[in-house]
Amino acid sequence: MNYTKLFSAFAIFGFAIVLTSSLAGAQQLDVAVGVSTITAPSANEATGNHFPQSLTGSAYPTFSADAVLFKNFGVQGEFAWRATRGDWLDVQPFRPFFYDFNAMYLPKLADRTYLELLAGVGGQSTRFYQPFQTCDYYTCKNYVTINHFMGHFGVGLRLYPVRNFFIRPEAHLYLVNDNQEFSSARAVRYGLSLGYTFGGR
């Protein structure tokens, strides 16, 4: 049994239930899109059973949404994926995806300025593309996917220059369990998002 997939399915289902049941009573809802990049230990720093392949580089489009439920506390979820394929060990095309679900703390620092602190869990899902297709009863695909559970910590500075529109410089630490396909279990994503707040601040 693939416990990573099972846990990911339960996490997504649980987050959807919590978010759906709390939207009606939420003080504030936020959505944002952005672009990031990732830095991670280099291929030369791979140790143990890690392959000498770094996650560093490329652009990662991102999408996030959150709900503030009580004072400055809420829940948040986000998704980031590599925009272009990389070459794993200079041989096989690959593309990683990251998703996480978090508890959020959003204290006000100054007028129209908020600190965003995140902590939660999620997964890294990496597609390795093949030059042929594999078919089953439902579909055909030219890739295999490897999934890993991960922990996530994030920080952002939310600035509101105009009404309910915000700009958010941000950084995220991924701690990926058993991430043997890459040089390390650790990766940092940093970038900028643009968003909109529904409801009071």
Instruction: Provide the token pair at 185.
Output: 């279990």
Tokens 């070459």, located at residue = 87
On whether the CB atoms of residues 8 and 149 are closer than 8 A, the answer is yes
DSSP one-letter code for 48: T
pTM check: above 0.95: no
**Pure H helices in the chain:** 3-23
Tokens 């990926």, located at residue = 176
Give the domain CATH number at 92.
2.40.160.20
Distance CA 115, CA 129 (A): 39
Expressed as residue numbers, the domain containing 81 is 3-199
Q: What is the residue-level pLDDT of the chain in tens, covering all 201 positions?
A: 444 454 555 555 555 545 554 555 568 999 999 999 999 999 999 988 899 999 999 999 999 999 999 889 999 999 999 999 999 999 999 999 999 999 999 999 999 999 999 999 999 999 999 888 888 888 898 899 999 999 999 999 999 999 999 999 999 999 999 999 999 999 999 999 999 999 866
Sign, CA torsion 74/198/114/40: positive
Instruction: Provide the token pair at 152.
Output: 């996530």
Instruction: Provide the token pair at 151.
Output: 């922990």
Distance CA 144, CA 91 (A): 15
Q: What's the number of domains the chain is made of?
A: 1
